[in-house]
């Protein structure tokens, strides 16, 4: 993997469903991975900065894991709510490369 | 406290004109970043400042793009001889230091006609 790739591109879930999506990145020369949430008409908002292999971070119903050896991070949302609807971006640090994002829509 | 602000919020200009986009970061943040975001894509890195100096300008697409941060706070992104392909949302972000979580501004939507 040469670029930062996110999958799926978009996701529609029902309120209350749990969901997860993936950020894949080149595993060589890893420094840090950032996750951001970007709601429509707002600025991207930082969720997590992850640096260590095996890191797990949690903020409310959202959590993330990191595997630097195989080059991926998962973002999990437990019990999705309509207000979770946003585009979720990951960014590989050192060279500030963003993925294209996963657009999540939570239907009430 | 005040977040990152960007002005103008929207800018429409004619092809060939010069534009300046301004970013006012959070006070005390030494790192400042400029990104460009096109529809359906993630933010594309343009340039990063540490204090007053451009620590990494490898993302600037060509020499029509230039950015300054003369006093280590406000930054201006300057685009000469604008082209239609420059149309995008230009995002600015700041962080306490390089690598820390970034705080983004609302962006400037540039449209070149």
Non-local (6+) Cβ contacts of B52 within 8 A are: B69, B70, B71, B72
Q: What is the pLDDT of residues B49-92, one digit of tens each?
A: 999 999 999 999 999 999 999 999 999 999 999 999 999 999 99
How far is B61 from B81, CA to CA, in rounded Å? 13
Contact B21, B9 (CB under 8 A): no
Contact A99, A1 (CB under 8 A): no
The two tokens of residue A9 are 């591109």
* Test the B interface: residue of A24, A36, A44, A91 with most B CBs within 10 Å: A44
Q: Residue for token digits 């993330």?
A: A64
Closest-CA distance, A81 to chain B, in angstroms, reads 24
Quote the distance between the C-alpha of residue B91 and its chain's center.
Answer: 5
Q: What is the pLDDT of residue A41?
A: 87
- By C-alpha distance, the chain A residue nearest B99 is A93
Q: What is the pLDDT of residues B93-113, one digit of tens each?
A: 999 999 899 999 999 999 999
Q: Residue A83: exposed, middle, or buried by beta-carbon count in 10 A (0-12, 13-18, 19+)?
A: exposed
Q: What is the pLDDT of residue A23?
A: 97
Helices (H), A1-108: none
Cα dihedral sign, B34-A38-B38-B14: negative
pLDDT in tens, chain A (108 residues): 568 999 999 999 999 999 999 999 998 888 999 999 999 889 999 999 999 999 999 999 999 999 999 999 999 999 999 999 999 999 998 788 999 999 999 999
Q: What is the pLDDT of residue B1?
A: 57
Q: Is B28 left (phi over 0), alpha (psi -120 to 50) or beta?
A: left
**B33:A96 CB<8 A:** yes
Q: What residues in A contact B105, CB-CB < 8 Å?
A: 43
Q: What residues in B contact A91, CB-CB < 8 Å?
A: 42-43
Q: What residues in B contact A49, CB-CB < 8 Å?
A: 99-101
Q: What residues in B contact A43, CB-CB < 8 Å?
A: 3-4, 91, 103-107
Q: What is the pLDDT of residues B26-53, one digit of tens each?
A: 999 999 999 999 988 999 999 999 999 9
Q: What is the pLDDT of residue B40?
A: 85
Q: Which residues from B are below 8 Å from A when comparing CB atoms?
A: 3-4, 33, 35, 40-45, 48, 59, 91, 93, 99-107
- By C-alpha distance, the chain B residue nearest A38 is B104
């Amino acid at each position: 993997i040469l670029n930062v790739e996110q999958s799926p591109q978009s996701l529609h879930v029902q309120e209350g469903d749990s969901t997860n999506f993936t950020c894949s990145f080149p595993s060589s020369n890893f420094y840090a991975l950032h996750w951001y949430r970007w709601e429509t008409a707002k600025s991207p908002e930082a969720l997590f900065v992850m640096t260590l292999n095996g890191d797990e971070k949690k903020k409310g119903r959202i959590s993330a894991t990191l595997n630097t050896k195989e080059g991926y991070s998962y973002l999990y949302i437990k019990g999705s709510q309509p207000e979770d609807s946003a585009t979720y971006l990951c960014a590989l640090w050192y060279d500030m490369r963003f993925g294209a994002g996963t657009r999540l829509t939570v239907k009430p | 406290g005040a977040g990152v602000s960007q002005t103008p919020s929207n800018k429409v200009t004619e092809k060939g004109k010069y534009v300046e986009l301004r970013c006012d970061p959070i006070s005390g943040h030494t790192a400042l970043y400029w990104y460009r975001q096109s529809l359906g894509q993630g933010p594309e890195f343009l340039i990063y400042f540490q204090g007053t100096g451009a620590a990494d300008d490898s993302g600037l697409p060509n020499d029509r793009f230039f950015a300054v941060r003369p006093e280590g706070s406000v930054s201006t992104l300057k685009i000469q001889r604008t082209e239609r392909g420059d149309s995008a949302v230009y995002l600015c972000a700041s962080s306490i230091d390089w690598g820390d979580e970034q705080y983004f501004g609302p962006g400037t939507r540039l449209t070149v006609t």
